[in-house]
């Protein structure tokens, strides 16, 4: 059975360091990587049907943009290094969604950068890495 590592990617320097760190571990153990990009999204909003249609369109555009501008270039870099890579883009609460993805893919470990894209959000709500460490049922490696 092949070991799988989940790597949280948001395009930040920290997430790229985490991905590089995970790649070295994957190469050493013949593991594969799942690169995950989570778009924060709340299902709790009350909209008209027109607003829901617009929201759905925006959601699809965000998924496409995340895939083509962040995940595709990073995943190709690691494929070129001989590591098996899959990608996932999801909407939801970042830490919860990462835990769900880890379970779905049978990941043995999650890698995440200590600092992501939004410093202001971190100050107000806490870090995704910190929340993930507290709620994950599998080991989490936080890369500085």
Coil/strand/helix, residue 143:
strand
Coil/strand/helix, residue 134:
helix
Between CA 111 and CA 13 the distance in angstroms is 14
pTM: 0.86
Let me know if residue 29 belongs to a domain.
yes
Burial of 93 (0-12, 13-18, 19+ CB in 10 A): middle
Task: Say how many C-beta atoms besides its own lie within 10 A of residue 28's C-beta.
Answer: 8
Let me know if residue 65 belongs to a domain.
yes
Let me know if residue 14 belongs to a domain.
no
How confident is the model over 17-71, as pLDDT tens digits? 999 999 999 999 999 999 999 988 766 566 677 777 787 788 889 999 999 999 9
Domain count, the chain: 1
Let me know if residue 92 belongs to a domain.
yes
Between CA 131 and CA 94 the distance in angstroms is 9
* Domain span at 89: 1-5+20-34+49-114+138-144
Let me know if residue 84 belongs to a domain.
yes
How confident is the model over 77-133, as pLDDT tens digits? 999 999 999 999 998 889 999 999 999 999 999 999 987 555 544 444 458 888 999
Let me know if residue 142 belongs to a domain.
yes
């Amino acid at each position: 059975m092949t070991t799988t590592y989940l790597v949280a990617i948001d395009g930040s320097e920290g997430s790229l360091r985490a991905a590089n760190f995970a790649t070295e571990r994957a190469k050493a153990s013949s593991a594969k990587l799942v690169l995950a990009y989570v778009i924060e999204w709340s299902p709790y909003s009350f909209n008209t049907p027109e607003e829901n249609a617009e929201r759905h369109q925006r959601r699809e555009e965000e998924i496409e943009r995340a895939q083509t501008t962040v995940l595709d270039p990073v995943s190709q870099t690691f494929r070129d290094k001989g590591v098996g890579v899959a990608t996932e883009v999801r909407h939801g609460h970042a830490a919860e969604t990462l835990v769900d993805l880890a379970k779905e893919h049978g990941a043995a470990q999650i890698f995440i950068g200590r600092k992501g894209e939004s410093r202001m959000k971190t100050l107000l709500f806490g870090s995704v890495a910190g929340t993930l460490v507290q709620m994950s049922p599998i080991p989490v490696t936080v890369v500085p």
